[in-house]
Amino acid sequence: MGRTLDNAMLNVGLKDVARDGLSDLGFRVEDVINQEHDAALGNGGLGRLAACFLDSMATLNYPAWGYGLRYRYGIFKQEIVNGYQVEIPDYWLDNNPWEFPRHEITVDIQFYGNVKKYQDENGRISHSWEDGEIVQAVAYDVPIPGYGTKTTNNLRLWSSKASSGEFDFQKFNAGDYESAVADQQRAETISAVLYPNDNLERGKELRLKQQYFWCAASLFDIVRRFKKTKRAWGEFPDQIAIQLNDTHPTLAIVELQRILIDKEGLEWDEAWSIVTKTFGYTNHTVLPEALEKWSVPLMQNLLPRHLQIIYEINLFFLQSVEKRFPNDRDILSRVSIIEESHPKMVRMAYLAIIGSHKVNGVAELHSDLLKTTLFKDFVKIYGPDRFTNVTNGITPRRWLHQANPRLSALIAEKLGSYDFLKDLTLLDKIEAFVDDKAFREEWAVIKRENKLRLAKHIKATTGFDVNPNALFDVQVKRIHEYKRQQLNIFGVIHRYLSIKAMSAEEKKKVVPRVSIFGGKAAPGYWMAKTIIHLINKVADVVNKDPEIGDLLKVIFIADYNVSKAEIICPASDISEHISTAGTEGSGTSNMKFVLNGGLIIGTCDGANIEITREIGEQNIFLFGNLAEDVEDLRHRHFYGDFKLDPQLERVFDAIKDNVFGDKADFSALISSIEEHGDYYLVSDDFNSYITTHEMVDEAFQNQEEWLVKSIASVARMGFFSMDRVTNEYADSIWNVEPLDVKD
Ligand code: CJB
């Protein structure tokens, strides 16, 4: 979510009032804003997309709720010590004025125990889930004000607590200190800490507990509200739509089925029809290591009734598949929710597809890949209409108006109002000013000021001075091999070695650059941490090399988060979105950078492709192999058909010569490319990457042309408003309409 104060003031239109009031009291509004701690309740793009949804749904007057966990510790704070990432706990809850504890709203959540079969009064076989342990979920509400509307929606975060309330004083007084606090501690552990993995699933029991705790509490809340309306159950899907943001809340499907059949006494088929009409599932990644699977024995122990229901869902599903494809035995094992491995695993994505009426990917290429690879059997079974695409977007309120107030004001001045913040397609009108010299000049001044703001931050946090006239080249996102920060830093080393080999005359022609990196590595992701280490070691050497001076600086901004993104995005000249083609679901920072007047260098991946379509090929620097060629290249590498790119070889030679510290620190990174198949195609794309960077340098030298590209790109970014995204979900998945708040 990031910070709330600035966003809330802008959305409710009170920032000027606050500025004046604070100034009367002797404070600057900016200083007050900077006191706030980020709410860092997610890992990367997935969680931030949800935050953009909340802003947009409130702004468009959709009566929506967000549900999540009130983690005591959000994503860790990152420090860089001797070039290494160090993780520091993020205790963010002190002095958080934005949450309203709702101690009266609690839900008992059950774990473990066993299932009893019995005959109810109508002679029907029923199931009751008994014994086990109970943990209480307590609601904390965070208001989400829309922009220019009376609608304020609610984000409800659940905190875990021992069901007995406080702790057992009797045990305590009797000297049984440990057991008196143990229950309480075990319960509180559930919402204690966010798992810091992005695009990676590891089947830990506590994580499954978190997922069920969150789903069960939210479902209870939703059902309770519905029951207050006294409507028939058949109306449930007309009144309620639940969107699963990836597979992490998939247990909600099972939980709703359980409530309807075990608690409310509905027949299986009627209940299942309600469930599937209610849920939609958004897939955010095709990476195999990110696809959630839970071990059957683990689920059997923690959620015995849910496992029974999953088996039942699977049975009915497989029976229907068998009927449709009687001669295809293999398809049954391929699409079964249960993977027949040791131990058996529950495939959550399959459960999510089977339990939803619509499945969507987050950019065109990604949605196509889902249909042709990962979920192709399900397309055969359900037909293509079950699968759709909704390309991601970003909220223009936070990512333009709040992050870049001067650019927003300049646009408003030219368009005559701030209406574009509610209808981003209106931006197209600024293209008419592209030849207006004074306008271009103002545009350039704003970019320069944003670069100065970032330079100040860099000076304060790293001690390095960077030249604001240099080309600011930014890559900020989670550190991951598929996102290829290694390609970027190898490119930087290539640049460094090239400059070192130049004559004084040649150096005069070099376009000065600042290469800026930021992002967290999952604490257990060794290769990602190695990449961070290499970036910092390269920075040490390059930034202190007198032969280089201002021609190249390398900066690692520690602890990249939402509020830092708000400073960084408006300050880039070029940003890097360079994942191996076919691996990035969509990407959303690509949109943030372009909307703030930065150009991008990228692969034909995720939403880069649609950004290109909207802004025009002449305004983006694309490079590298295409998604359709990746499998073949990997195959060839596997069979030994691999030749290291000669320029990359020169880079590796420098690393092996200990130019950036002990070569042993980077040997695994190099050998993953040289010896182990170069899975992410770093070598295959290297030449194309560095040649494209040369084109970037050349283009940057013509500042007038660069400005034209920048302005035209912003003008054409209307499509990437989160409001377009929200409306598409509302029309094609949720079947809901806006509802104005009455006076
Ligand atoms: N995404 O941030 C995550 N974490 C995951 O575990 C899976 C996917 C990202 O979701 C974003 C929002 O849809 C996408 O833009 C991004 O490509 C994807 O990696």
Reported as a single tens digit per residue, the pLDDT across 262-319 is 999 999 999 999 999 999 999 999 999 999 999 999 999 999 999 999 999 999 999 9
CA distances 624 to 389, 391, 498, 686, 687, Å, are 25, 22, 21, 8, 9
Cα–Cα distance for residue pair 31/613, rounded to 1 Å: 41
Protein residue with least CA distance to atom 5, ligand 1: 199
DSSP code at position 240: -
pLDDT at 395 over 90: yes
* 42 C-alpha to ligand 1 centroid (Å): 11
Cα–Cα distance for residue pair 426/445, rounded to 1 Å: 23
Residue 331 near residue 355, CB atoms below 8 Å: no
Query: Which residues are paired to 286 by β-bridges?
Result: none
- Please tell me which residue in 306, 483, 520, 537 is annotated as part of the active site: 483
Q: What mean pLDDT value characterizes the chain?
A: 97
Q: What is the mean pLDDT of residues 682-710?
A: 98
Active site residue 171: no
* Domain parsing of the chain, residue ranges: 1-36, 66-195, 465-715
pLDDT in tens, 572-592: 999 999 999 999 999 999 999
Query: Quick one: which atom of ligand 1 is closest to the CA of 287?
Result: 7
Greater pLDDT, 149 or 329: 149
What's the pLDDT score for residue 166?
A: 57
Q: What is the mean pLDDT of residues 433-441?
A: 98
Cα–Cα distance for residue pair 337/315, rounded to 1 Å: 9
Q: What sign does the dihedral 187-191-197-198 (CA atoms) show?
A: positive
Q: Which of 194, 285, 366, 589 to mutate to test the pocket of ligand 1 (most atoms within 8 A of CB)?
A: 285
* 6 C-alpha to ligand 1 centroid (Å): 26
Q: Which of 199, 292, 520 to mutate to test the pocket of ligand 1 (most atoms within 8 A of CB)?
A: 199
Q: What is the mean pLDDT of residues 660-670?
A: 98
Cα–Cα distance for residue pair 206/157, rounded to 1 Å: 18
Percent of the chain with pLDDT over 70: 99
Query: Per mean pLDDT, which range of 37-41, 167-171, 440-444, 453-457 is the poorest?
Result: 167-171
- Please tell me which residue in 366, 478, 564, 709 is annotated as part of the active site: 478
Q: Strand 279-282 and strand 293-295: pairing? A: unpaired
Q: What is the mean pLDDT of residues 592-620?
A: 98
Query: Quick one: which atom of ligand 1 is closest to the CA of 585?
Result: 17
The SS3 of residue 74 is coil
Residue 391 phi/psi, 5-degree rounding, is -65, 135
Residue 521 phi/psi, 5-degree rounding, is -105, 140
Cα–Cα distance for residue pair 111/92, rounded to 1 Å: 28
Residue 181 near residue 167, CB atoms below 8 Å: yes
- 44 ligand 1 Cβ < 6 A: yes
Q: Name residues whose C-beta falls within 8 Å of residue 689's C-beta, 6 or more positions apart in sequence.
A: 487, 491, 578, 623, 624
Number of other residues whose CB lies within 10 A of the CB of residue 101: 12
CA 327 and chain centroid, separation = 41
Q: What is the CA radius of gyration of the chain?
A: 27
Under the banding of pLDDT at 50, 70 and 90, the label for residue 668 is very high
Q: What is the mean pLDDT of residues 387-398?
A: 98
Count how many Cα atoms sit within 13 Å of the Cα of residue 384 in the half-sphere of its side chain: 6
Residue 512 near residue 470, CB atoms below 8 Å: yes
- 367 ligand 1 Cβ < 6 A: no
Query: Quick one: which atom of ligand 1 is closest to the CA of 197?
Result: 6
Active site residue 456: no
Q: What is the residue type of 59? A: T
* 599 C-alpha to ligand 1 centroid (Å): 22
Query: Per mean pLDDT, which range of 176-190, 209-223, 367-381, 628-642 is the poorest?
Result: 176-190
Q: What is the residue type of 740? A: D
Query: Which residues are paired to 160 by β-bridges?
Result: 137
Tokens describing residue 215: 């789903």
- 394 ligand 1 Cβ < 6 A: no
Under the banding of pLDDT at 50, 70 and 90, the label for residue 218 is very high
What's the pLDDT score for residue 564?
A: 98
- Please tell me which residue in 248, 258, 284, 398 is annotated as part of the active site: 284
DSSP code at position 394: B
CA 473 and chain centroid, separation = 22
pLDDT in tens, 521-560: 999 999 999 999 999 999 999 999 999 999 999 999 999 9
Q: Which of 13, 11, 51 is nearest to 145 (CA)?
A: 11
Q: What is the mean pLDDT of residues 645-661?
A: 98
What's the pLDDT score for residue 87?
A: 98
Active site residue 691: no
Query: Which residues are paired to 279 by β-bridges?
Result: 242
**Domain covering 465-715 in this structure, CATH number:** 3.40.50.2000
* 649 C-alpha to ligand 1 centroid (Å): 32
The SS3 of residue 673 is helix
What's the pLDDT score for residue 167?
A: 61
Query: Quick one: which atom of ligand 1 is closest to the CA of 43?
Result: 2
Residue 357 near residue 320, CB atoms below 8 Å: no
Q: Name residues whose C-beta falls within 8 Å of residue 249's C-beta, 6 or more positions apart in sequence.
A: 211, 214, 215, 218
- 45 ligand 1 Cβ < 6 A: yes
Residue 41 near residue 47, CB atoms below 8 Å: yes
Q: Which of 53, 245, 284 to mutate to test the pocket of ligand 1 (most atoms within 8 A of CB)?
A: 284
Q: What is the mean pLDDT of residues 479-501?
A: 98
Q: What is the mean pLDDT of residues 245-261?
A: 98
pLDDT at 194 over 90: yes
Active site residue 603: no
pLDDT in tens, 162-189: 987 556 677 777 888 787 788 889 999 9
* ipTM confidence score: 0.99
DSSP string, 548-571: TGGGEEEEEESS--HHHHHHHGGG
Q: What is the mean pLDDT of residues 106-126?
A: 94
Residue 604 phi/psi, 5-degree rounding, is -80, 75
DSSP string, 428-453: GGGGGGTT-HHHHHHHHHHHHHHHHH
Is pTM beyond 0.90? Reply is yes
DSSP code at position 2: B
Q: Report the length, in residues, of the chain.
A: 743
Tokens describing residue 288: 């195999």
Active site residue 588: yes
Active site residue 231: no
